[in-house]
Amino acid sequence: MKYHVHLETKARKELFDLPKEIIQRIAEVLDDLEENPRPPACKKLTGREGYRIRKEDYRILYSIDDEKRFIRIYRIGHRREIYR
């Protein structure tokens, strides 16, 4: 059964501020998260709740609710700025 991926308002704004080719690549990652919310490339965050997945120089920060099969994307951005 698939997970539902939800982009919070801030993450949606951050996504659409990126160049078009990067948006397409990140959209592929988001589609893959519906099938597998914990792919081999994801890492659990230390010091805060959630996971991160890399796509080139960009990071996607998200949390998972397994009971509701729900993934909440709360940040998308360049690796220099994402953890600030």
User: What is the CATH classification number for the domain harbouring 48?
Assistant: 3.30.2310.20
Chain-wide mean pLDDT for the chain?
Answer: 95
Q: Is the residue at 40 inside a domain?
A: yes
Q: Which of 23, 4, 13 is nearest to 72 (CA)?
A: 4
CA distance 24 to 46: 28
Q: Is the residue at 50 inside a domain?
A: yes
Q: Is the residue at 27 inside a domain?
A: yes
Q: Is the residue at 83 inside a domain?
A: no
Task: List the domain range (segments joined by +) for residue 53.
Answer: 4-78
Cα dihedral 33, 37, 41, 47, rounded to 10, equals 120
Q: Is the residue at 23 inside a domain?
A: yes
How many domains, in total, are found in the chain?
Answer: 1
Decide if pLDDT at 83 tops 90. Answer: no
pLDDT tens digit string along 6-43?
999 999 999 999 999 999 999 999 999 999 999 999 99
pLDDT reported for residue 84:
81
